[in-house]
Structure 1
Amino acid sequence: MDNEELAAWLRLQLTPGVGNETARRLLAAFGLPGDIWNQSFSAWQTVTNAKTARALQSVPSALPVAVKRLRDWLDESPAHQLVTLADARYPAALLNTADPPLMLYLRGRPEVLSHVRKLAIVGSRNPTPQGETNARQFARSLTQSGLCVVSGLALGVDGAAHAGALEGGGPTIAVVGTGLDTVYPQRHAPLATHIAENGLIVSEYPLGTPPLAAHFPQRNRIIAGLCQGTLVVEAAVKSGSLITARCAAEQGREVFAIPGSIHAPQSRGCHALIRQGAKLVESAQDILEDLQVVDKVDRLSDPAPDRLSPPGDDLLEAMGHDPVGLDALKARTGLETAALQARLLELELDGQVSRMPGGLLQRVSTG
């Protein structure tokens, strides 16, 4: 794409009042952006309103800088690419949604965008230890079965899902709410580099776009739109993860949810989704069967991520699956405080128990 064509697309994106919907109407009416800018004011008015037509008459002041920045970024690496609505590489699954982005900025391996089977895994930025473990284990297992995991690079469940997918040896796609010259959150910079080397980072936002709060709910429609289905691991009742699930349902895609403790706030969003018709899942196999990735097989060949520690550990049995306090454990086990704390420390060091806020402890599956 030469600079003139880049400028034509960027002008469409940067013109005030021209959102994705208006841009698509203009493209449908006049063809490529270069043809749009050759039209008259009256022609623009037949597609949009007078205010927007007047905005189309002016070249955005930021355009020259934006074109140079994008040109330099594209020339910097073959891993940096731009896919527009007119590009044959634009993913069909996203094109067939209510609000496909005008352009997709890519960093990584562009061919991953055409991966046939994709599943979104989303959830809380502050998951329980079990929730984070579930996200990682589900992602790893699903990737090993041939799915491409898509998430949003956020802290918590998103990061665990990307990490699990990479552990599974497959690509993963991160859809972000900033320009691709910015990594947010910054602590995920190493993870972002790993994703770009083995998968793909995607954004609809121009280079230089900071992490604005309004962008993250918007990017969720892309996460859902790229995928056959969406798995919600943990989520509060009001959360971005439920926005992703709603987008998936509105687009006719599958919605899956992992149930959790009735006492955990992070589980209430999943329980609400299940009441509304989301499919309750206990293992990666449930998803693979539903998406017809594999035929039904003996469940013993694919243990659920919540497979518990070896039987016979009375303390783990006494803990159950919900967060529990030290006093309750003393009452259940009859152990003295010193003996109980020593055993809990062993289990914690072994990765089978995790400490939670408020002095609570929770059993963690090791899958």
Structure 2
Amino acid sequence: MEALSQAEAFARIRLLRSPNVGPVSYRQLLRRFGTAELAIAALPDLVKGSGGYRPASEERVSVEVQAVRAAGARYLFHDSPDYPPLLAELDGAPPILTCRGDADLAQKPCVAIVGARNASAAAVKLARMFAGELAEAGYVVVSGLARGIDGAAHQASLSSGTIGVIASGIEIAYPPEHAELQEAVAMRGLLLAEQPPGTEPLARHFPSRNRIIAGIAAGTLIVEAAPRSGSLITARLAGEAGREVMAVPGSPLDSRSQGCNQLIRDGATLVQRTEDVIELLTSFQGQPRLVLREASKDWELAETADDPADIASLLTTAPVAVDELVRQSGASTGAVQLALLELELAGTLVRHAGGRVSRT
């Protein structure tokens, strides 16, 4: 890969910060126009009937870049050599991350350890044991710097280098009591953020944070989790990416164990010792076991698309696969992809995991 010019790097940040541009549409725009600079210039004409689409302003992006530098952080672009390689396998991987610390850690074998915030003392002890022994075995422990299991996993693996993924801007510590731990992760490991500097952690940011945790690692270990918890979202995302999903069983009388027991019943691997985790991860060859179909690129050749309104008429608020839209519309894959891109930029389309889409 050729080194990005400052102008193109700036344009990429500006493109991703523009209204309704997400990870999928960002990549599609880069494929179609070749550079972010050309894509930004084309955006107003691409969003038909938008009433004047305006990309993110240069002033806004300049302020962001200055804030990243002030935080002692830097940008990681999706096609840079030090971007986490397993994360890059995912269709919805963040096109741009901000980071502090040693980005080379993400190039090593990684395992995610997550679990309950209000974890039991026994579960915290287990998390420390797993994290410490996995670190000694050469694995980089990834987690989300939350209270409970996450914090225990980071603390136990800090001396070997650990990766923390946060739901806020790179300079904001959350929870506040983990400010010292977060700084230690940045200084001795790697701290990653998808959100721009200054972003406070909101509820909608945590599932996005969880997909990064699951995407970086070859496997995800859930130590303790209640039903419908964020840890189960991480496990589901890991499973959708074809990664190992492992869970520690617990008492059915403890609600904090019900999530793990449910995962095991649904097909996650039951683990009780660090050796169980290592045995599973040793067979992982660096490719998702269940490869998600990469969106067809032949849409790039389409000069025009079917009327986006025709595609929109097939959409409801229930997610549907893009392949199904191609089948029902009778249009080419390229035409459907281009129509979906226009609908997304206009703010009327939502993309979901697994290449599915729905109306807003």
2:141 to 138, 149, 152: 149
Report the counterpart of residue 63 of structure 2 in structure 1: 68
How does 1:198-347 map onto structure 2 within 5 Å? Answer: 198-292=188-282
Distance 2:261 2:84 in 1: 32
What is the aligned counterpart of 1:15 among 7, 15, 18? 18
Q: CA deviation at 1:268?
A: 0.2
Instruction: State the SS of the aligned residue for 1:291.
Output: helix
- Residue of 161, 171, 176 corresponding to 1:171: 161
Residues 168-203 of structure 1 deviation map (CA, whole Å, 9 limit, x = unaligned): x31110111001011111110110111111110101
Equivalent-residue separation in structure 2 for 1:157 and 1:202 (angstroms): 19
Aligned residue number for residue 160 of structure 1: 152
Q: Write out the 4+ residue segments of structure 1 that deviate beyond 6 Å after TM superposition.
A: none
Higher mean alpha-carbon deviation, 85-94 vs 198-207, is at 85-94
CA spacing shift, 1:52–1:260, aligned 2, 3 Å: farther
Alignment partner of 2:125: what SS?
A: helix
**Inter-CA distance 259–52: structure 2 relative to 1 (3 Å threshold):** farther
- SS of the residue corresponding to residue 253 of structure 2 reads coil
Unaligned runs of 5+ in 1: 295-367
Amino acid at match of 1:254: E
Q: What is the root-mean-square deviation of aligned Cα atoms in Å? A: 2.1
**Aligned amino acid, residue 173 of structure 1:** I
1:120–1:150: 8 Å Cα contact kept in structure 2?
yes
1:162 Cα deviation after fit: 0.4
Pair 1:86 & 2:79 matched: yes
In the TM superposition, what whole-angstrom CA distance separates every residue of 1:222-247 from its partner, at most 9, and x where no partner exists?
Answer: 10000100000000111010000001
Deviations 1:8-66 (A, max 9, x none): 12221221111112111101111221231243755xx3xxx5367952xx2435x4143
User: Equivalent residue of 2:160, what SS?
Assistant: coil
More contact order relative to length (CA 8 Å, sep ≥ 6): 2
CA contact (8 A) 1:3 1:71 kept: no
By how many angstroms is 1:6 displaced? 4.2
Using a 3 Å threshold, how does the CA distance of structure 1 residues 126 and 83 change in structure 2: closer, same or farther?
same
Structure 2 distance, partners of 1:60, 1:40, is: 11
* Structure 1 equivalent of residue 338 of structure 2: none
2:62 corresponds to which letter in structure 1? V
CA drift of 1:71 comes to 3.1
Partner of 2:128: 136
CA contact (8 A) 1:6 1:67 kept: no
Amino acid of the residue matched to residue 105 of structure 2?
V
Relative to structure 1, the CA distance from residue 160 to residue 53 in structure 2 (aligned partners, 3 Å threshold; closer, same or farther) is farther
C-alpha distance in 1, partners of 2:208/2:146?
A: 14
Q: Which runs of 5+ in 2 are unaligned?
A: 285-360
1:109 aligns with 102
TM-score norm. by structure 1 comes to 0.72
Note if contact 1:259-1:271 (Cα within 8 Å) is conserved in structure 2. yes
CA distance in 2: counterparts of 1:225 and 1:69, whole angstroms: 26
Give the count of matched residue pairs.
281
Aligned residue identity for 1:223: I
- Which residue of structure 1 lines up, in the alignment, with residue 32 of structure 2? 29
CA–CA separation in structure 1 for the residues paired with 2:190 and 2:277 = 23
Amino acid at match of 2:74: Q
TM-score (norm 2): 0.74
Pair 1:40–1:216, CA change in 2 (3 A): closer
Q: Conserved in 1, the CA contact under 8 Å of 2:15 and 2:40?
A: no
CA contact (8 A) 2:67 2:197 kept: no
Name the amino acid aligned to 1:227: A
Larger radius of gyration: 1
Distance 1:181 1:283, change over 3 A: same
Asked whether the equivalents of residues 15 and 55 of structure 2 are also in contact (C-alpha less than 8 Å), the reply is no
Q: Distance in 1 between matches of 2:69 and 2:43?
A: 32
Which digits, 9 at most, give the CA deviation of each residue in 1:142-174, with x for residues without a partner? Answer: 0000000000001111001101112xx311101
Contact 1:151/1:162 (CA < 8 Å) preserved in 2?
A: yes
User: What secondary structure, in the 3-state scheme, does the structure 1 residue paired with 2:42 have?
Assistant: coil
1:125 equivalent in structure 2:
117
8 Å CA contact 1:3–1:67 kept in 2: the answer is no
Structure 1 residues 53 and 154: CA distance shift in structure 2, 3 A? farther
Residues 40 and 225 of structure 1, relative CA distance in 2, 3 Å threshold: closer
